[in-house]
Structure 1
């Protein structure tokens, strides 16, 4: 996955690199404009959509509250009717009578008590039926109020009503056969309030049924004017869905009612609530309201397809308008950038001519902007380049002359080496071996000095050079000097600057050993050790030494280059200790260099610190 990402990133980088600066600026401009616009439109559309849904939710919740008020009124009306029937003492006494009534009693009952119950129904036109199903064998059925309980023995609600011991039971019948065994009509869906009558106490007497058609009980659900984008349904305590089957909303929308019930059961709670779901990529909003008297939920299922389409249309119109505006602005920006970069393109063409070898290009770009300033510096650069070319031609001619002089010098040095070799042979023939050794040392020193091809040598070569130097100085000092070298074998190939130790040896002899009036043996000790990343070379002499103040002054002179009597060196080849320190810091850095410690009348020790760099195979510089 990482490899694919890297390849994709490389492809993008290559594509961007192939674009001109003008195209990059236009692309950057479009990105800077388009990306915030897309984000803004998305957020704005989402907020508009959410606000619209919230408005729909509030409107639907208000409609549900109004519907609940209607339902509450219908519930109270049915309860009040049931209570008035139960409270009619003459009616109830006749029903619970255990004596068979004669004709006069029956006529009197029908004309009075039964008429009172019939008037209750007439006074409540929304109530469809008031019925009493009795188990009293002495009672004769009087339609449409009084019936034998045998007619409802198969009803599914009978057992539940008896088990509730006089508590009311609400029952929904979507479409059932009438107890009078009439044909079912098209609108027989109803809701029934059922209560058990017991007399005496705990003795079953009958069941009262007050029912109302659902079209009257739920006016919104069964209203004649239906909203094509929404539908009302009820889900009862047994998870049965009660709805208006004449409204084909679910069939038209292709919504599975069982799936809707599952989604509802996952989010239902008492009171008013809502949830959303999708069906066939169409969003829906469901507002729920709990009806505690019925232990049921009233649902308003609302399609958001129209809202979603309207929001998308608005978003697309806004986005299209902005895209059109961005295209116009991009074209204008393209022209303006072209004018702004005209000077840069002219400067680029001039650079191409210089690249092809034409250094006589005249860059004429006026103005005070950055490109004009760049053109001015480029023109100055061309002038310097032309001057350097002329200088290089002159130097080339001078180099030819220098080569001739170098050839002459080489011939002279060979002549000198041959002469010294002849003197050495003559000294050996005469038995003057000290003179022969001195001539040999002098020849090696001259060869080391004259053949300077590199600033770096191995430590072993520098040590051989100071050996030859001490041998020459012993001719002058009658063998006063003794040189001891203690350097581990692995450091013999350590890289050092050429002629970095000889000026220190010369300084030690000239200012330390020779001024010693006692003329004792002068001992020069050279030690070397290496840490992980640097090497320490110590050169110790047993000369006159220095006081603390003189030593500090000398160290200051070495670091700053300010000459004083303690630190200046005029012997040897003229490279002072300060020059050695300066060369080391120039090549390796200021953390390296030379430092002096001394005790008056005892010793002087010069410490040289350089990076540890082993030159495998030795040096080729000499």
Structure 2
């Protein structure tokens, strides 16, 4: 691409500008790109590490919360009074109510205030229908409500171990001042008999969990926590509570204890960092918009782009100013070369300087002067050559044609009437006057057709009824010009090589018309065709015919047409077989020789 620009745009300003861009602007652009990319990656990495530290601190707080809640559950689990209450007979209602009041006063409330920083709610369900709740005195819920739930079966399977369940049952919502909550659930057992006597649930509202990390979320950032099943436990965006993270396309990337990755959410690129809370098997996730994170890098990009644009503008101005003195003489020399290229050999450049450009201009003037001399010499030699060819053709007609025609006239004197003989003599006189006396190379198509008609009249008189010639000519083309003696050799070739060897009468059709700025002419006979030796070899039909013994006259016509009209014009043999021979010619439309030189 650059090579193409350098070749086609050869001015000094363009070269200096491109050189400046290649040496300064392009490397600076590449350096700026990589610098900004590295800065962006560094900032993203540092931000990710900072977010992981922040999430680690939140994880520690949630771990402390889980540890304290576990400690509280252990107190309940080992409390003698609670086991006595849960083992009391199911029918002794008064006794149970007295023990419940004592337990609520001494244990549940006092234990709750022992951990003042925690905000939790305790629910105890006994298999003997004892039911205790912190700050709830409503209707009993009953442990039978939960027996069919999967989390209940999971707690039974743990056999006294703690399981963390998100929103285990809507029936517990009245006991907690929050719509969303998590529960640390474990079975209560009798140590002596190892039988299960009840179930302990320590419930923590989502609002309390949110307080543990809410202040850590920066502007535009979102944080959420989901459990091992993928259910969102807590989130800065409350609309995401209880949402299932397993539907997210990037869910499988949450592997290991911590990490970070980039995703696109709602057409916005996000940096996602995560940290797992081992004690609860929760995962804390932070969503940080990269646009906000990389705002400074974006500003740097715009500043860099503006700087590069200014640098490019400055390069254009400097290259123009520096190269102007050098480019003016080069442009003058270039303009002179273009005029010479267009054919004006009288052009001489007016560049005068003492440097290499001035020396080049002097050599250019000398070269053009020599070319002009050689051009004039070639024109004179070509003119002499064409006249010599024409004279040679005329002398050939004089030797061949004149002898045969006079012999034919002698024969006609014995067999035909005086009028027919007189008609042949008149045609011969007209033909000789036009072909032999006029030295002009170009005549009108009408004159050439008149000469051809005189030639045909003579040949038809010689051939008697064996030859018929038909003309199909567009009338308006008669005023255009062509080469003299262009058509006669072709018709002569058709008569002597096609019609005469044929048994019976023969016919020649001559057609001429104008098409696409060219004269198109076709000569077709129904003779025996043109015999070609196998030694001629391969090639197009036209090439093989011109190389044959019968193609001497055709070669002469081809050479003259190519010399005068150019390589794209000439004759073409359409067919030369048992059907006869058909030859097509084309040359440009012109009325003056000057028009022909411009084509």
Contact 1:536 1:610 in 2 (8 A): yes
Distance change in 2, residues 1:374/1:359 (3 Å): closer
Contact 1:488 1:529 in 2 (8 A): yes
RMSD: 7.2
Q: Which residue of 2 aligns with 1:71?
A: 62
2:77 corresponds, among 68, 73, 86, to: 86
**Cα deviations across residues 229-278 of structure 1 (Å, max 9, x unaligned)?**
856444678977746xxxxxx7xxxxx65389989775563635766679
Distance change in 2, residues 1:491/1:318 (3 Å): closer
Give the distance between the partners of 1:383 and 1:491, measured in 2 at CA.
47
Contact 2:441 2:483 in 1 (8 A): no
Secondary structure class of the residue paired with 1:364:
coil
Q: Which residue of 2 aligns with 1:298?
A: 284
Give the distance between the partners of 1:460 and 1:292, measured in 2 at CA.
110
Give the distance between the partners of 2:140 and 2:79, measured in 1 at CA.
28
Aligned pair 1:373/2:365, yes or no?
A: no
Q: How much has 1:468 moved relative to structure 2? A: 5.3
Q: How much has 1:34 moved relative to structure 2? A: 5.6
Secondary structure class of the residue paired with 2:184:
strand
Contact 1:78 1:193 in 2 (8 A): yes
Give the distance between the partners of 1:463 and 1:60, measured in 2 at CA.
102
1:485 corresponds, among 440, 457, 467, to: 467
Aligned pair 1:364/2:364, yes or no?
A: no
Q: How much has 1:445 moved relative to structure 2? A: 2.2
Q: How much has 1:221 moved relative to structure 2? A: 1.3
Secondary structure class of the residue paired with 1:490:
strand
Q: How much has 1:60 moved relative to structure 2? A: 2.8
Give the distance between the partners of 1:66 and 1:443, measured in 2 at CA.
124
Q: How much has 1:465 moved relative to structure 2? A: 2.1
Distance change in 2, residues 1:526/1:491 (3 Å): farther
Aligned pair 1:582/2:559, yes or no?
A: yes
Q: Which residue of 2 aligns with 1:609?
A: 583
Aligned pair 1:592/2:576, yes or no?
A: no
Q: Which residue of 2 aligns with 1:427?
A: none
Contact 2:271 2:287 in 1 (8 A): yes
Aligned pair 1:258/2:239, yes or no?
A: yes
Q: How much has 1:92 moved relative to structure 2? A: 0.7
**Cα deviations across residues 58-103 of structure 1 (Å, max 9, x unaligned)?**
553465356446635643553465356335566413442236999x
Q: How much has 1:311 moved relative to structure 2? A: 0.6
Distance change in 2, residues 1:138/1:70 (3 Å): closer
Give the distance between the partners of 1:147 and 1:509, measured in 2 at CA.
130
Q: Which residue of 1 aligns with 2:88?
A: 97
Contact 2:491 2:523 in 1 (8 A): no
Contact 1:229 1:302 in 2 (8 A): yes
Distance change in 2, residues 1:588/1:101 (3 Å): closer
Q: How much has 1:310 moved relative to structure 2? A: 1.7
Contact 2:431 2:451 in 1 (8 A): no
Aligned residues: 487
Q: Which region of structure 1 is more displaced relative to structure 2, 20-29 or 69-78?
A: 20-29
Give the distance between the partners of 2:35 and 2:142, measured in 1 at CA.
55
Structure 2 residues not aligned, in runs of 5+: 1-8, 156-162, 380-416, 498-502, 514-519, 590-599
Aligned pair 1:527/2:508, yes or no?
A: yes
Q: Which residue of 2 aligns with 1:45?
A: 36
Distance change in 2, residues 1:75/1:433 (3 Å): closer
Distance change in 2, residues 1:92/1:39 (3 Å): same
Q: Which residue of 2 aligns with 1:499?
A: 485
Contact 1:363 1:379 in 2 (8 A): no
Distance change in 2, residues 1:387/1:116 (3 Å): closer
Structure 1 residues not aligned, in runs of 5+: 1-18, 244-249, 251-255, 393-430, 475-479, 512-521, 570-575, 598-605, 616-622
Q: Which residue of 1 aligns with 2:184?
A: 193
Aligned pair 1:454/2:446, yes or no?
A: no
Contact 2:469 2:508 in 1 (8 A): yes
Secondary structure class of the residue paired with 1:499:
coil
Q: How much has 1:457 moved relative to structure 2? A: 3.5
Q: Which residue of 2 aligns with 1:411?
A: none
TM-score, normalising length: structure 2:
0.53
Give the distance between the partners of 1:275 and 1:568, measured in 2 at CA.
82
